[in-house]
């Protein structure tokens, strides 16, 4: 069984993330979407909320499992029985950072490969940060995130 792990903060999950997840399900028997618990960031959603949102928006993808983790990503990848980590690329600016991380991970864990997936062109500009900023100004975010995520984001900003 070929398992891949797609780690990230997913705060919030966007249609660009879903594009990568959906395409990865065509390449692997199982895709673990790994939600990072990062104490250095102040996320809009708690880890549990992000996991729940991802479970709802990927429920039509039976080979996707959503889990949370902290610590070194390569250790989590190993704990899942995977040897591939997926990372998404939107633009050239992402490439430098992702290349550096992939090379570092390769030194730390030579048994784990990083697969860089270029997002579909229609989502190349999209980021969680942009979605949160638009939502904070009351803009319509429906075309950027799945409907359930949009509902949860609006709830956060209506408080």
Active-site residue (options: 78, 90, 106, 154): 90
Does residue 3 sit in helix, strand or coil?
strand
Burial class (CB in 10 A: 0-12, 13-18, 19+), 152: buried
3-state secondary structure of 32: strand
Instruction: Tell me whether residue 136 is one of the annotated catalytic residues.
Output: no
Q: Is 132 a catalytic residue?
A: no
Pick the catalytic residue: 17, 50, 132, 152? 17
Q: Is 41 a catalytic residue?
A: yes
Selecting among 50, 87, 128, 132, the annotated active-site residue is 128
* Active-site pick, 2, 41, 46, 136: 41
* H/E run at residue 97: helix 92-108
Longest dimension (CA), the chain: 46
Per DSSP (E only), the strands in the chain are 3-8, 30-36, 64-69, 84-89, 113-118
78 belongs to the catalytic site: no
Write out the catalytic residue numbers: 17, 41, 90, 128
């Amino acid at each position: 069984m070929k398992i891949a792990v797609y780690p990230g903060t997913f705060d919030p999950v966007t249609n660009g993330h879903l594009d990568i997840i959906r395409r990865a399900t065509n390449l692997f028997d199982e895709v673990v979407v790994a939600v990072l618990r990062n104490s250095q960031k102040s996320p809009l959603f708690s880890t549990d909320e992000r996991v729940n949102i991802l479970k709802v928006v990927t429920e039509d993808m039976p080979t996707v499992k959503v889990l949370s983790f902290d610590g070194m990503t390569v250790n989590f990848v190993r704990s899942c029985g995977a040897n591939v980590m997926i990372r998404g690329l939107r633009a050239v600016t992402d490439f430098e950072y992702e290349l550096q991380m992939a090379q570092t991970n390769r030194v730390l864990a030579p048994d784990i490969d990083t697969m860089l997936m270029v997002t579909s062109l229609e989502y190349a500009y999209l980021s969680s940060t942009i979605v949160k900023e638009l939502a904070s100004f009351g803009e319509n975010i429906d075309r950027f995130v799945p409907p359930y995520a949009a509902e949860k984001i609006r709830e956060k900003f209506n408080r």
